Amino acid sequence: MRKLSNSELKRISVEEYKIAEKLPIVIVLDNIRSSNNIGSLFRTADAFRINYIHLCGITSTPPNKDIQKTALGSTNSVEWEYFQNTIDSIKQLKNQGYLIYSIEQVDESCKLDTFSPEIGKKIALVFGNEVKGVGDKIIELSDNCIEIPQFGTKHSLNISVSAGIVIWDFFKKLYPENKNKHIAKTCFSPT
């Protein structure tokens, strides 16, 4: 086993990325405080070809040196739009036919491991503030809330970790044919 070189990774250019087919998902960031978390989300969005990102409220926007530190240039590939108010983002997405799923712990949430997104539907995933979570009014406007099952003492994940888990899960569920053909490899360890 050896690490692959950059040329072996077959990375596409920013221009190729912009015209490539995208996952039918919009990420909505509801008042995210940390620019490093925002940059990390841009990088995750690039990795899974997310359609675009809505940056809302106090969420910083590019260009920003702290976003760039963790985004590693992905702000050039992933499309984004700023909204002063998250509700305006949600209303626009609903008018465009998106299903709104807030990632939050609520009394009637669906667990991520058992949730099945509707194939062929446009989806918006809302991630909330690092301390307060997704705003109550946004939860009311959501079609559903999804919760990542957790088993420790904190029941709290960093937003960039949560986004990575949820986006990967949606990718696998929306494109199950990729699971065995292109993503999963059987690894054999020597005995």
Strand partners of residue 84:
none
pLDDT of residue 178: 54
The C-alpha angle with vertex 96 and arms to 138 and 75, in degrees rounded to 5, equals 75
* Mean pLDDT, range 148-156, rounded to an integer: 88
Indicate the average pLDDT of the chain. 89
pLDDT of residue 158: 92
**Phi and psi torsions of 32, nearest 5°:** -80, 130
pLDDT of residue 8: 86
For the chain, the domains span 21-183
pLDDT of residue 31: 97
Q: Around Cβ 150, how many Cβ atoms within 10 Å?
A: 11
Structure pTM?
Answer: 0.88
Scanning the chain, the segments in alpha helix (DSSP H) are 14-19, 35-47, 65-71, 86-95, 136-141, 159-174, 176-178
For residues 40 and 68, is the Cβ–Cβ distance under 8 A? no
Which candidate, 165, 164, 106, places its Cα nearest to that of 139?
106
Give the Å distances, CA to CA, from 162 to 83, 148, 165, 182: 22, 8, 5, 23
Reported as a single tens digit per residue, the pLDDT across 93-107 is: 999 999 999 999 989
pLDDT of residue 175: 82
The C-alpha angle with vertex 69 and arms to 33 and 7, in degrees rounded to 5, equals 135
Cis-peptide into 62, omega within 30 deg: no
| Structural class in CATH, domain 21-183 | alpha beta
Reported as a single tens digit per residue, the pLDDT across 125-141 is: 999 999 999 999 999 99
